[in-house]
Each structure stands twice: as C-alpha cells, then as structure tokens.
Amino acid sequence: MNKQDKLSVVVVGAGIIGASIAYHLSLRRNITVTVLERDEPGSGASDHSFAWLNSFGKDPRSYHHFNRRSMELWHRFAHNLEADVGFHCGGELRWENTAEGAEALQQRIRQLQAWGYLCRLITIDELRRLEPGLSPDLVTAASLSEADGQVDPSKVIDACLKRACERGATVHSQTPVTGLCLGKKRIEAVKTPKTEINCDMVVLASGVNTTELAAMAGVDIPQQESPGIVIRTDPRPPVLHTISALHAPAIDANRAGIHLRQCTDGTLRIGQGTQQSLNQDDSQEHANDLLNRATHYLPTLAGARAIPVPVGYRPMPLDGLPVLGFSEAAPNLYIALMHSGVTLAPLAGELVTLEIADGACVETLQPYRPERFCRR
C-alpha cells in the first residue's frame, strides 16, 4: 500500500477490457488506478471488433451463461458511462438457405431455448416485417435472438477512461510496459522505456500481448492465433431498421456467408463467416467482395464504398475460454484475457474489481483461472 493507504493498481492495456477494469476500479475510493497503453487507447483488437453483444455460439452452457450475464449488464454499464457509446439492443437476425443449414439452425435454437436464451425461429413474413429492405432469396429457416445488441468499442473505451480520470485515475498513452520488476514472488514495479512505476498490483489486459508480458513473471498463458477482418463502409442512410446484427448465408459454394451491422454514424461493419472465422485478406478487392455480398441481400447498399481495414488479432486463449484471475507464480499479477471481450467488458470489469478491491474469490470465475494452463 502507498502512503495514503490506497492500493495502487497498474492496468496494462487500454482496450475495452482494460478500460472497463480501470473504470470499475476507479469507483472505489481506496484504489489508485494507472493505465499504461503502448499505443493509443482502443488500438488493439477492440478497434477491429464486429462488436456484436451476444451469447449465440457460446459453449459450454456455463460459458454461455457467463456471456448472458454480461449482456444483461450492458444496459446499466452504458447508462452509467453517461455517454453515447453506440449501444443498441435490437436483436440479431439470421437465416439459412440450405436444408443442412436449416437443420443446424433449428438444433441450435432448440439448445439455446433450453438454456433460456431469448431466441426463436421466425417465418419469412416476420423476417420481411422486421427488415423490409432485405432481399433474402431462398429461406429454409430463420431466427431472431431478441436480446442481442451492439456497441461502438472506441466510444466505450473513451467513456470508461474519461470517467476513470474524473475519479483520479491516470492514463498514459504511448507508454509500453517493457518489463516487470520482481521481488519475492511479487511484482514491485512495472518498467516503461522512461521510468519504473511502483505498484501493489498489476492487471494484464494487454490482449494478444498478454502472453509475452505474463511470461516475464513466469506465468504461462498460451494463446492461439486468430486473425479476423471486419471492413467498414462510408456512412449510409439506415439500411437496417430494427435489428442490431445480421447473419446472412453464402450466396454460392465459393464464398462464405457474411455478418453485418450498421453503426449509429451510418457506417457499416461487414465480416465473413462466423464470429471466429479466420481471415487475413485486408485487400480492397476482398472488401469490395464483402460489400457485394451484403448488397446482394440489401440492395439499398448499392453505391456504398467499401473501406478495407487491416487484419485484427483476437485475444484468444488456447481453449477459447476467458482467463481471469491472480496467478500463483506472481500473486499480485491479475490476468484478464478473453475473446468476446466486447460482450464481456461489463462483467469482467465488475468481477475483477470484486477480486482486486475486496479480496473476494468469485466462484463464477473458477473455470477461467490462469492455473488451468499449468496442468498442461
């Protein structure tokens, strides 16, 4: 503890997870928060995200419920940030155009309903009523997941850091953490190119770089490489009127289906395949192709401009599940690494704060402890 008996916590990384943790920690009077960001806040995976708030494809059931709980927190989180963070909860619409696709969708909806997820199969008439601008061709099955939503991660990050700074936190951009000063099984300070910063605790919310930083303290956090592409368009008049996110099937055997959403500024985000699909093609041609596929189903997009975005790398723990908790090798080092971090940001912020500020041991986090990788 420092002179004022305040716990000083350094958060490494200002993506949506680090920003949410910093914001939630800053709500506690007994904590001093310092955020160190290598580049600019939001320049990692959060800036490349499709940012669909969902628990559609999340397995097993415990992980599905974990995401569900965070989805439910988004209303309060967005409200408390007192800023426009692009939060819209209009649901997710999808359809299939093959018999196999219909079978898989019907099965998934049955499973999700058994878990109590607010989703259902819908008729083609309902699909048309929800989104009159859609021209879906053949529909073999369609569904609506009513509780799904979307946000603008960069606005969330800005709002979190603004609120945290109002409560005394400090944020240093262009400040990479280059080393950890280890005492007796504890981290005493973090090193940056210019200085060393003393601290009581360190939170690694450094996305894909978490692995190399954790290794400096002897903690093994393996990840798999998971590149993805979500392109943008120029601002368009509303093409979607109700829903937050759309998944459309493949038009032909050679090209995967797409997912698409429209942001509050009118620009669109378009990716291909599922939320986990691997893709590294950041060319203008590929961006044009994604937009063409979207225009096939949403003809009012004709004339839109496709803006390619460099490949983004999802923070992706080896088993696909979040890593949240203190590490045995360095007990004042807290790891916060996860895919679906946009969905999970409010819950991660709240639970990490309970563990750091109150010394709680949150049972819900037991499946996600870093130690599971020591047993490999």
Ligand X SMILES: Cc1cc2nc3c(=O)[nH]c(=O)nc-3n(C[C@H](O)[C@H](O)[C@H](O)COP(=O)(O)OP(=O)(O)OC[C@H]3O[C@@H](n4cnc5c(N)ncnc54)[C@H](O)[C@@H]3O)c2cc1C
Using CB under 6 A as the binding rule, whether residue 275 contacts ligand X is answered as yes
Using CB under 6 A as the binding rule, whether residue 223 contacts ligand X is answered as no
CB of 124 to ligand X, least distance (A): 26
Query: Using CB under 6 A, which of the segments 37-45, 96-104, 128-136, 298-306 binds ligand X?
Result: 37-45
Using CB under 6 A as the binding rule, whether residue 349 contacts ligand X is answered as no
- The single residue among 207, 257, 317, 325 that binds ligand X, judged by CB under 6 A, is 207
CB of 64 within 8 A of CB of 55? yes
Q: Which residue in the block uniquely carries the two structure tokens 């305040």? A: 6
Q: Which residue from 358, 313, 316, 353 is spatially nearest to 160, judged by alpha carbons?
A: 353
Q: Which residue in the block uniquely carries the two structure tokens 């401009």? A: 305
The single-letter code of the amino acid at 374 is C
What angle is formed at CA 303 by the lines to CA 302 and CA 308, rounded to 5 degrees? 105
CB of 303 to ligand X, least distance (A): 26
Give the three-class secondary structure for 176: coil
Q: How far apart are CA 375 and CA 182, in angstroms?
A: 24
Query: Using CB under 6 A, which of the segments 110-118, 236-244, 298-306, 312-320 binds ligand X?
Result: 312-320
The single-letter code of the amino acid at 75 is H
- The single residue among 156, 230, 290, 365 that binds ligand X, judged by CB under 6 A, is 230
Residue 352 phi, psi dihedral angles, 5° rounding: -60, -40
Q: How far apart are CA 206 and CA 104, in angstroms?
A: 36
What angle is formed at CA 165 by the lines to CA 341 and CA 216, rounded to 5 degrees? 55
Using CB under 6 A as the binding rule, whether residue 15 contacts ligand X is answered as yes
Closer residue to ligand X in complex, CB, 128/286: 286
CB of 253 to ligand X, least distance (A): 24
- The single residue among 102, 134, 214, 342 that binds ligand X, judged by CB under 6 A, is 342
- The single residue among 136, 228, 322, 325 that binds ligand X, judged by CB under 6 A, is 228
Residue 3 phi, psi dihedral angles, 5° rounding: -55, -40
Using CB under 6 A as the binding rule, whether residue 325 contacts ligand X is answered as no
Using CB under 6 A as the binding rule, whether residue 357 contacts ligand X is answered as no
Using CB under 6 A as the binding rule, whether residue 262 contacts ligand X is answered as no
Q: Which residues bind ligand X (CB under 6 A)?
A: 12-18, 36-39, 43-46, 48-52, 176-177, 205-207, 209, 213, 228, 230, 275, 312, 314-315, 338-343
